[in-house]
């Protein structure tokens, strides 16, 4: 069972999935966006970025990318050890949410109570607290993929690729890497004054990518950013206030208002698309598939369709060899 205690499902690295996870945790004011670059106008439109979630193909590496924090900073940095398999996606999100102090983010009752309850715990106990939270576990496992068969995880090949999520978060003027598989937060250095912390993080992430073999593309970077609809609405209100105080409006102001309204419409369309995709992810299509197969078999159409598909696959394979 996907929702059994201690058994967590794998989660797809998708901004729509992560944004819904955040909302179902009860958090408001932020969303998740996939970042294809950390520069340019498109990236600047996402600012402020509150944390980065980096997905990579995990390889055995005992050397941390910086010194592990072991001093008084552990009293204020929320860091939890990953004590169960497949929980790294949710822990990467929580690492950002629990450490973010930006006014746009509202943790909500569930995470606020969890943070207050285990703030004084050590990293291992924090991890146990997260893994035993019914709310967090049920939300996480609501994205479990439906399968026809149960697979024994012990039978997986040792050569199977394993992917892992870590977080990069600015806290009190320093950049930290929060990885539940490490012994503590990793101090990546002081963020220079008057510097966007993401600019400071960019070469660090690039250096990590360079450690892999040439041609390796199994990476994904997402950012936790302020809710775009709310941000655009604030911009519209700001312009409208300027119009009221000035006693008249200009064509440029009306163009700006129209532009922000268009962006709000785009964001809402994207949010609706994510909702539909997540409903499809969660829906169990297996009974329907089984019934269709039964009907095809009963009417004598299943094997002909199978043979036709098999022949087509062989023809495609032959074309690739030519």
- Spatial contact of 32 and 53, defined as CB atoms under 8 Å apart: yes
| Cβ-based burial of 280 (10 A; exposed 0-12, middle 13-18, buried ≥19) | exposed
CB 50 within 8 A of CB 30: yes
The closest alpha carbon to 224, from 10, 52, 56, belongs to 52
Active-site residues, by number, are 88, 164
For the chain, give every domain's residue range.
15-226, 229-282
Note the maximum CA span of the chain.
77
Pick the range with the lowest mean pLDDT from 115-124, 151-160, 252-261, 289-298. 151-160
Segment 1-23, tens digit of pLDDT: 344 445 888 888 899 999 999 99
Question: Which residue's structure tokens are 């268009």?
Answer: 262
184 phi and psi angles, rounded to 5 deg: 180, 180
Fold of 15-226: Ubiquitin C-terminal Hydrolase UCH-l3 (3.40.532)
- DSSP labels, 43-104: HHTTPSEEEEEEEEE-------SSPBP-SGGGGTS------STT-HHHHHHHHHHTT---TT
The pLDDT tens digits for 119-145 are 899 999 999 999 999 999 999 998 876
Is residue 279 very low, low, confident or very high in pLDDT (cuts 50, 70, 90)?
confident
Give the model's confidence band at 212: pLDDT under 50 very low, under 70 low, under 90 confident, else very high.
Answer: low
Q: What is the pLDDT of residue 282?
A: 74
The Cα 96–Cα 106 span in angstroms is: 12
């Amino acid at each position: 069972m996907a929702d059994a205690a201690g058994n967590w499902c794998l989660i797809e690295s998708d901004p729509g999935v992560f944004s819904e996870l955040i909302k179902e945790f009860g958090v408001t004011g932020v969303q998740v966006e996939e970042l294809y670059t950390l520069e340019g106008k498109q990236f600047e439109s996402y600012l402020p970025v509150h944390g980065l979630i980096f997905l990579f193909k995990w390889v055995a590496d005992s050397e941390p990318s910086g010194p592990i924090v072991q001093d008084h900073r552990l009293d204020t940095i929320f860091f939890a050890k990953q004590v169960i398999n497949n929980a790294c996606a949710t822990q990467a999100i929580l690492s950002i949410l629990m450490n973010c102090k930006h006014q746009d983010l509202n943790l909500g009752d569930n995470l606020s109570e969890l943070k207050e309850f285990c703030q004084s715990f050590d990293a291992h106990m924090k991890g146990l607290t997260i893994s035993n939270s019914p709310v967090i576990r049920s939300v996480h496992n609501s994205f479990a993929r439906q399968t026809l068969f149960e697979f024994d995880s012990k039978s997986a090949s040792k050569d199977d690729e394993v992917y892992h999520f870590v977080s990069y978060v600015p806290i009190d003027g320093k950049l930290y890497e929060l990885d539940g598989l490490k012994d503590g937060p990793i101090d990546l250095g002081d963020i220079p004054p008057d510097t966007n912390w993401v600019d400071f993080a960019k070469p660090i992430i690039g250096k990590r990518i360079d450690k892999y073999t040439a041609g390796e593309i199994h990476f994904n970077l997402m950012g936790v950013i302020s809710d775009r609809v709310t941000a655009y609405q604030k911009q519209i209100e700001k312009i409208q206030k300027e119009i009221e105080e000035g006693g008249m409006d200009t064509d440029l102001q009306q163009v700006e208002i129209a532009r922000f309204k268009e962006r709000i419409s785009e964001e809402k369309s994207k949010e609706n698309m994510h909702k539909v995709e997540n409903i499809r992810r969660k829906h169990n299509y297996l009974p329907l598939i089984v019934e269709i197969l039964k009907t095809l078999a009963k009417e004598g159409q299943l094997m002909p369709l199978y043979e036709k598909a098999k022949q087509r696959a062989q023809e495609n394979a032959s074309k690739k060899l030519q």
